Amino acid sequence: MSGKPLKTRLSLSLAVLLSSSLTLGQAQADSLEINLTLPEITTGQYHRPYTAVWVEDAKGQSVRTLSLWVMQEGEGYKWLKDIRRWWRKAGRDDMNFVDAIASATRPAGKYPISWDLKDDQGGQVANGKYTLLVEVVREHGGRDLVRHKFQLDGKPFKAEIAPTIETGTISLQYLVE
pLDDT tens for 90-146 read 777 777 777 777 778 888 899 999 999 999 999 999 999 999 999 999 877 788 999
Say if CB 82 and CB 105 are below 8 A apart.
no
Pairing of strands 102-103, 62-69: parallel
How far is it, in rounded angstroms, from Cα 77 to Cα 102?
10
pLDDT band, very low/low/confident/very high, at 9 (cuts 50, 70, 90): very low
Detail the DSSP E strand segments found in the chain.
31-38, 50-57, 62-69, 102-103, 109-115, 128-137, 143-152, 157-161, 170-175
CATH topology of domain 29-173: Immunoglobulin-like (2.60.40)
The pTM is what?
A: 0.79
pLDDT: which is higher, 119 or 15:
119
Nearest to 63 by CA among 9, 138, 148, 124: 124
26-40, 100-114, 153-167: which is most confident? 153-167
Quick one: pLDDT at residue 29?
80
